[in-house]
Amino acid sequence: MTGLLAACSLGHSSASANPKTIKNPVAATPESLATGKRLYDRLCADCHGATGRGDGEKSKKLAAAGEPRAPDLTDEKWDHGSTDGEIFVAIRDGLGSTMTRLNGKPGIGPEEIWHLVNYVRSLGGKK
């Protein structure tokens, strides 16, 4: 693979690439889901909760302060896009002040983010 195709497949899409068209190169195998769960537990559960329902400790504190809670990742509602590519970009780049980006965190590269995408998909109705 070369150029933009390779970049998009690995999650290094250019700023002009449409997240809807980015394909997930990591199969949702039991190993990928297990890796995604370990990453989720470490990086995401504080806000989204252990089961992805948006009820983590940080989310509760935000709600108590009148701020928006973390979204429920188990329901059918997609606030920031429903494709694997859109989920990848939201995790990679963050969502402003409400969700910090994982891009650039030590030990977190495109493959780890794709494992997170696979795990988030396994939590509920997000097919």
Write the pLDDT tens digit of every residue in 57-86: 999 998 999 988 899 999 888 788 889 999
Residue 58: CB partners within 8 Å, gap ≥ 6? Answer: 46, 47, 70
Q: Which of 10-19, 21-30, 68-77, 112-121 comes out lowest in average pLDDT?
A: 10-19
Q: What is the pTM of this model?
A: 0.84
Residue 111 has pLDDT above 70, yes or no: yes
Cβ atoms 9, 17 nearer than 8 A? no
